Amino acid sequence: MLSQADNEFLTRSGPGTPMGALLRRFWMPALLSEELPERDGPPKKIKILGEELLAFRASDGRVGIVERHCPHRGANLFYGRNEECGLRCAFHGWKFDVEGNCIDLPTSPPESSYKDTIKLLAYPSREWGDMIWVYMGPKEKMPALPQFEFGLVPSAQRFVAKKWQDCNWVQSLEGGIDTAHFSFLHAVPSKDEATKRAVYSRSAALGDQTKADDRIRWVTDDPRPRFAIAGHEAGLVIGGARKTDGADLYWRIAQFLMPNHAYAPAAFPGEIYYGQCWVPVDDVSCWIYTYSWVPDRPLTNAERTKFAGGFGVHSQVDTEYMPLRNPRNDYQLDRALQKTLSFTGIAGVSDQDAAIQDSQGPIQDRTREHLGPTDLGIVEFRKLVMGAARALAGGTEPKAATAAKRYAVRAGGWVAAPAKDLATVMTERFGHPHGYIGGEYGLGD
Amino acid sequence: MPLRNLRNDYLIDRRIQKTETFSGITGVSEQDAAIQDSQGPVQDRTREHLGPTDIGVVEFRKLMVGAARALAAGEGPRAAKAPDRYAVRSGGWVATPDKDLAAVMTERFGHPHGYVGKQYGFGE
C-alpha cells in the first residue's frame, strides 16, 4: 500500500516529475525499426513520457526524433517534406536535420545568420536490436546503450514487436514481474492433463517445452511461490520457488532491469527467452515492446508466425500495433470458454495480462491495495525505482544507467534442491549469481 | 465540413508530396487549413521566431491588439465607422523596382489603397 503522494510519485512520468527525470536518464525504445521502413519516408507522430514528437528517417538512413512544431510559426512538421537529409516545414520551407539544426531558412536573406540561432528540439537516437531508441535526458549524462541480449544476438535469432496498453506503465510492469499470478490468470482449469498441455502450447511459453516435464502442474498446484530477491547493478533477480512432486523446488526467475524492462521466468536451457519494455505514452497509456530471442540458433518461420499471432508476451495486433482483444471489446471474453478451458475466458496470455492490468484502473489506486508474501517482487521494484528517483532528485545519478554491460543477463526456470538459495540456483542455471552472460559476447566478467 | 480535415490528416498523399505538390494535400484551402490547424488549437506564440517575411503578421497583430486596447480605454475602432472604405481591391502587378507600394497600387487600381468606391457612387 502506498500513500496517494507516493502513488503519484511512482506513476507520473511527464516533464518535470521525479520519476520522469529518472526514466529520462535511460535509453528507451521509441519505435520498431519497421515503423520507419524507408529513407525520406513519411514522418511518424510519436508520444513518449507525455512529449509529442516526430520521428523520421533521413536520406542517409539516420533517424531524427524531434519536437513537432516548427520554431518559425509553430506549424506541425508532420505535414513537412522529408527530403535531402532533413525535414522541411510545409508552411515556409524551414528545414531541419536529425540533430535539430536549421539547415535552410529560405525566408531570410542568404547572407543572414538568423538560421544559426534557430534550433529544433531533437533527442539523440540509436538503432539497435531492430528498434529505434531515444535518449531524452541531459546530453552530458547520455549513457551507452544497455546491452540486452536480444540486441546482441544476430537479427535472425530475435523477434521484436510492440503492443498498445490502456493503463499506466507501472501497474503493467508490476504484472510482468509478478510471477505468482500464473497459477490463476493464465491457468487452464481443465482436469485433463493432455488438454491442459495442448491449450498452454497454443498460448504460453510455459507449455512450449523442449522436453516433457511437469512444470504446468507444479505452477497450477502451488499458488504460493516463496520469493527471493537479489539486487544487482542493472536491476533485480526475482525468484519464485514452487513445490514439485518430490523435495526439489521449481524456480521461476524473472529479471527487472532498470528502469522499465522485465524478463519472463519460464525458459529452461535450450528454450526461447522473452522480455518486455514498458514505455509511457502518457500517464494512462503505454507502448509495450515485446521481444524474444535464442542465444544459439535462428528462430524458425513457424516460431515467428506463432509470436505474431499472439503468444506469451506477444499480442495479436493490427497494423497500428493495437491488440485485437482490448478494452473496447472486453478482450473478447468468452464466458463459455471461461467455464472450461481458460481461467479468464480471454484468449492469449498477453491479452489476459492486459485485461487485468487495465482493469486496475487508468492509474491503479495503490492506497487501497493489500499486498501479501507473493507480492515481494513488486515491493522491491517500487523501493528500487522510487529510491533511485529520489536519489536523482537529490543529485545522485542512477548507477544502472552507466552499467550498460550489466544488462547482459538471462532469466528463466530451474529445478533445484530445497537447501539451495537464489544465488546458488542462478549459478547452477546460468553460471552466474545474477544471470550475467556478457562474457559470451565479449563484454568481460 | 471540409472533406479533407484534421480527422483524416487532410488525406495527405506522401507519393504526391514527392512528385506533384509541396504539401501532398489537395486544394489550396485545405493546405492552409492543415498548416493552420497544425499550429495547435491556439498557436503558442511564446515560441515563435519571426523573420522579415512575417512583417504583415506583425503589423496585423499591432493593428488588432492596438484597436482592442483603445476600445478597452473607451475609444471605438475607426474602421467600424468607415463602411465606404471597405470598397477596395487587392491583386497583383509588375512594376519597376524604384516604385513604392503606393505608386504600384495607384498604377494597378487608380488609388494608393486600392479604393474603388467611386465606381459604386461612394465619395472620393
pLDDT tens across B43-64, in order? Answer: 999 999 999 999 999 999 999 9
In degrees, rounded to 5, the angle at the alpha carbon of residue A172 between the alpha carbons of residues A168 and A176 is 160
Chain A residues with beta carbon closer than 8 angstroms to that of B35: 75-76, 79, 90-91
Q: Which residue has the higher pLDDT, A51 or A216?
A: A51
Tell me which residue has cell 532533413.
A86
Tell me which residue has cell 521566431.
B49
Domain boundaries, chain A: 28-134, 149-441
pLDDT surpassing 90 at residue A189: no
Let me know: does A403 contact A234? Beta carbons within 8 Å. yes
Each residue's pLDDT tens digit, B101-111:
999 999 999 99
Looking at residues A361-387, what average pLDDT do you find? Answer: 97
Chain B residues with beta carbon closer than 8 angstroms to that of A71: 47-49
Q: Does the distance separating the beta carbons of B22 and A81 come in below 8 Å?
A: yes
What residues 94-113 of chain A have any CB closer than 8 A to a CB of chain B? Answer: 105, 107-109
Task: Give the closest residue to A185 by CA, choosing from A355, A371, A308, A412.
Answer: A355
Comparing alpha-carbon positions, the chain B residue that sits nearest to A74 is: B39
β-strands A125-128, A122-123 pairing: unpaired
Question: What's the pLDDT at A211?
Answer: 54
Comparing alpha-carbon positions, the chain B residue that sits nearest to A40 is: B18
Q: Does the distance separating the beta carbons of A74 and B44 come in below 8 Å?
A: yes
Query: How far does CA A436 lie from the centroid of its chain?
Result: 19
The distance of A42 to chain B (nearest Cα, Å) reads: 7
Looking at residues A406-428, what average pLDDT do you find? Answer: 97
Quote the mean pLDDT of chain B.
Answer: 97
pLDDT surpassing 90 at residue A37: yes
Report the C-alpha gap between A231 and A403 in whole angstroms: 14
Tell me which residue has cell 542462478.
A426
pTM of the predicted structure, to 2 decimals:
0.93
What residues 50-89 of chain B have any CB closer than 8 A to a CB of chain A? Answer: 50-54, 57
Report the C-alpha gap between A244 and A416 in whole angstroms: 10
Q: Does the distance separating the beta carbons of B43 and A73 come in below 8 Å?
A: yes
CA within 13 Å, CB half, B73: 7
Q: Which residue has the higher pLDDT, A189 or A372?
A: A372
Looking at residues A258-282, what average pLDDT do you find? Answer: 96
Chain A residues with beta carbon closer than 8 angstroms to that of B44: 69, 74
Task: Give the closest residue to A143 by CA, choosing from A245, A24, A2.
Answer: A24
The distance of A46 to chain B (nearest Cα, Å) reads: 15
Each residue's pLDDT tens digit, A287-337:
999 999 999 999 999 999 999 999 999 999 999 999 999 999 999 999 999
Task: Give the closest residue to A89 by CA, choosing from A75, A103, A102, A107.
Answer: A75
Position A10 confidence tier, pLDDT thresholds 50, 70, 90: very high
Q: Does the distance separating the beta carbons of A79 and B51 come in below 8 Å?
A: no
pLDDT surpassing 60 at residue A232: yes
Report the C-alpha gap between B42 and B29 in whole angstroms: 19
Question: What's the pLDDT at A200?
Answer: 81
Q: Does the distance separating the beta carbons of B45 and A90 come in below 8 Å?
A: no
Position A208 confidence tier, pLDDT thresholds 50, 70, 90: low
Let me know: does A46 contact A31? Beta carbons within 8 Å. yes
Question: What's the pLDDT at A199?
Answer: 82
The distance of B104 to chain A (nearest Cα, Å) reads: 23
The distance of B116 to chain A (nearest Cα, Å) reads: 33
Question: What's the pLDDT at A213?
Answer: 64
Considering only CB atoms, B48 lies closest to which of A74, A79, A114, namely A74
DSSP per position, B34-81: HHHHHTTTTT-GGG----GGGHHHHHHHHHHHHHHHHHHTT---GGGG
pLDDT surpassing 80 at residue A210: no
Helix H, strand E, coil C: the string for chain A is CCCHHHHHHHHCCCCCCHHHHHHCCCCEEEEEHHHCCCCCCCCEEEEECCEEEEEEECCCCCEEEEECECCCCCCEHHHCEECCCCEECCCCCCEECCCCEEEECCCCCCCCCHHHHCECCEECEEEECCEEEECCCCHHHCCCCCCCHHHHCCHHHEEEEEEEECCCHHHHHHHHHCHHHHHCCCCCCCCCHHHHHHHHHHHCHHHCCCCCCCHHHHHHHCCCCEEEEEEECCEEEEEEEEECCCCCEEEEEEEEECCCEEECCCCCCCCCEEEEEEEEEECCEEEEEEEEECCCCCCCHHHHHHHHCCECCECCECCCCCECCCHHHHHHCCHHHHHHCCCCCCCCHHHHHHHHHHHCCCCCCCCCCCCCHHHHHHHHHHHHHHHHHHHHHCCCCCHHHHCHHHHCECCEEEEECCCCCHHHHHHHHHCCCCCECHHHHCCCC
Question: What's the pLDDT at A4?
Answer: 98
A82: region left, alpha or beta (phi > 0 left; psi from -120 to 50 alpha) = beta
Each residue's pLDDT tens digit, A377-386:
999 999 999 9
Under DSSP, the state recorded for B115 is: B
CATH of domain A28-134: 2.102.10.10
Q: Is the CB of B45 inside 8 Å of chain A's CB atoms?
A: yes
Greatest extent of chain B over all pairs of C-alpha atoms, in Å: 55
Comparing alpha-carbon positions, the chain A residue that sits nearest to B52 is: A108
Position A212 confidence tier, pLDDT thresholds 50, 70, 90: low
A149-441 carries CATH number 1.10.238: no
Looking at residues A408-423, what average pLDDT do you find? Answer: 97
**Percent with pLDDT over 70 in chain B:** 100
Each residue's pLDDT tens digit, A152-186:
999 999 999 999 999 999 999 999 999 999 888 98
Chain B residues with beta carbon closer than 8 angstroms to that of A73: 39, 43, 48, 50, 54, 57
Q: Is the CB of A59 inside 8 Å of chain B's CB atoms?
A: no
